[in-house]
Structure 1
């Protein structure tokens, strides 16, 4: 249920060469420069003379570098690579009254997650991302997208010690996300992505996510583009229900699965714009431009070109930095070549959709 079918055109560059326009973007995270990892370590070392002021400067410098890297790759919309974030739940929980931290929890193997607990009413105290957005906007010459961890994931990946149910916690958090988006819009944000990776693991809760989204977009102007990113999972368990979500764009991770689920979105008709992952973030092998073009055409089997966004499958932070950059650059080049082929009438948009095995 797209809120405004025309709101993607605001991201078309003024000097765009082709009549067709495939919006190119990234999901959010990007590999951190090695020196930033070193700066983070120094800031945590009590014997170091590296201060929080020094760390703030290092974060600013890294955001400048990565924003520039995104622009150099040719992306239509950019982010700062989430240089200030270490983990997608912790970052926000530290900024929300009602949360507290009691130490790391083992999640798998030797990996630990500093899982927070909700011990009181969650409240909106002060903006979470506005300063970051304004900084990145000043650095960037292109539109800036703002990724926000969604309320369902913030609730699911926390210990609930206060609310009657996890759903009640998610709804309370959704109201806070709405307040944050209002602040971002006032600061000039026009493209906001809600990240709900937890929905991929608990797809039966799609109705809870839908109610959260209704609360999130309440009062948000239609010209503000709202996207929803859900990581790889069984999409048949949330489709066609997601057609009722009040979003402009649904971002899916399908490249990693060889597009076996692409036909899920063809019946009934897919209603929001489709943001299709066309490079695999789980492999350091850089896809060729020709390979990515074929991946983009998978999306054209679901939506027309004017409803297709091109992105990596997910955040690219675990890839080597040069690999991440090359994937983005090839992705943009592939999108531009597909646009030119569409202009020339060389792509058959009525080709049948292959059924997954």
Structure 2
């Protein structure tokens, strides 16, 4: 399947424009306040809020946020990671070979329950299949499944069992591959590998590339594989990342006011670009017009058929109304840019307004 066909499988029926800019989110979304309260009740031995109650609460939250993504108009939705606590911890609890010894201070007053790898890692139970199947049953739109990548799972853990993190990352990549195979069997067609650690140690891009080769082994061509990378100096990993076996790169660029956009212009960006067009670090909703301008910056790098529209990163730290407002305006901006492309009022070679006819 070609890259364009891979993307167009997510095009809604009766899409109003000839052009199609796939709109989606990176993954996380603010949890309803009552879900946090439900967790407190479940963890309190003095309350009779049991496992069934806690499961029902998570189901309700996942259904609610999936529908919120639908209401915002997103083409590919996520449940907002309502069942996940943290991007490494969630998976480490489900992988044999990891153990937890208490929280570690990471910055300021923030703590991270950093796990240790104490034995050879093994696949023990499904990680996300139940989550995917529930979300897919709650919507008629395509569901994207974010998975923390093996390099980040290795780098953000204490390695007490392997000779080095590279060896650990490859073993973890085989487990990610096993999980994706199960997700594909369940119907998933859009998988996003999250590797934020790559930006902090960009010299290891070759390790990430090899890990991705493990991940995509025997995965059908009609399954869209994306890689999310945020922060850091992209010039240290580009153009090497073009060799990665993925369909789409999801990149944080709005927060840096697109100062690194030129990095991706030479050599030519051959993959799909999921362009961050909303700054998740700013608790204000960008206007539709501002987001349109941001989207059009992406057309300086890739043609419309290779452009995907997304926020910079997960939006879980924003107020929920702000997160929703960003998504809603982002979708409207994408539809507006599609209309301009149909009309020929955007010069796709430069991402700027085309000159008016004389």
Q: By the TM > 0.5 criterion, same fold?
A: yes
Partner of 1:342: 341
Partner of 2:24: 25
Offset from partner CA, 1:70-105 (integer Å, 9 cap, x none): 000000000000000110000000000000001111
Partner of 1:14: 13
For residue 34 of structure 2, give the secondary structure of its aligned residue in structure 1.
Answer: helix
Q: 1:129 to 1:244 in 2, by over 3 A?
A: same
What pairs up with 1:180-329 in 2 under 5 angstroms?
180-329=179-328
Structure 2, unmatched stretches of 5+, are 353-358
Q: Are 1:127 and 2:126 counterparts?
A: yes
For residue 53 of structure 2, give the secondary structure of its aligned residue in structure 1.
Answer: helix
Partner of 1:157: 156
Partner of 1:147: 146
Q: Are 1:106 and 2:105 counterparts?
A: yes
Q: Are 1:97 and 2:96 counterparts?
A: yes
CA RMSD in angstroms, aligned pairs only: 1.1
Aligned-partner Cα distance in 2 for 1:111–1:320: 19
Q: State the number of aligned residues.
A: 352
Task: Give the conservation status (yes or no) of the 8 Å contact 2:296–2:351.
Answer: no
Q: Extract structure 1 runs of 4+ deviating beyond 3 A.
A: 2-5
Q: CA deviation at 1:350?
A: 2.1
Aligned-partner Cα distance in 1 for 2:269–2:3: 15
Aligned-partner Cα distance in 2 for 1:115–1:265: 34
For residue 11 of structure 1, give the secondary structure of its aligned residue in structure 2.
Answer: coil
Structure 1, unmatched stretches of 5+, are none
For residue 70 of structure 1, give the secondary structure of its aligned residue in structure 2.
Answer: helix
Q: Are 1:51 and 2:50 counterparts?
A: yes
Task: Give the conservation status (yes or no) of the 8 Å contact 1:5–1:248.
Answer: no
Q: 1:58 to 1:292 in 2, by over 3 A?
A: same
Q: CA deviation at 1:127?
A: 1.1
TM-score (norm 2): 0.97
Partner of 1:87: 86
Partner of 2:356: none
Q: Are 1:166 and 2:170 counterparts?
A: no
Aligned-partner Cα distance in 2 for 1:304–1:245: 20
Task: Give the conservation status (yes or no) of the 8 Å contact 1:281–1:316.
Answer: yes
Q: CA deviation at 1:57?
A: 0.4
Partner of 1:60: 59
Task: Give the conservation status (yes or no) of the 8 Å contact 2:4–2:305.
Answer: no
Aligned-partner Cα distance in 2 for 1:51–1:106: 31
Q: 1:3 to 1:218 in 2, by over 3 A?
A: farther
TM-score (norm 1): 0.97
Q: CA deviation at 1:110?
A: 1.1
For residue 152 of structure 1, give the secondary structure of its aligned residue in structure 2.
Answer: helix
Aligned-partner Cα distance in 2 for 1:349–1:187: 38
Aligned-partner Cα distance in 2 for 1:16–1:104: 48
Task: Give the conservation status (yes or no) of the 8 Å contact 2:278–2:312.
Answer: yes
Task: Give the conservation status (yes or no) of the 8 Å contact 1:300–1:349.
Answer: yes
Q: CA deviation at 1:352?
A: 7.9
Task: Give the conservation status (yes or no) of the 8 Å contact 1:278–1:295.
Answer: yes
Task: Give the conservation status (yes or no) of the 8 Å contact 1:4–1:222.
Answer: no
Q: CA deviation at 1:3?
A: 7.1
Task: Give the conservation status (yes or no) of the 8 Å contact 1:3–1:247.
Answer: no
Aligned-partner Cα distance in 1 for 2:104–2:126: 28
Q: CA deviation at 1:271?
A: 1.3
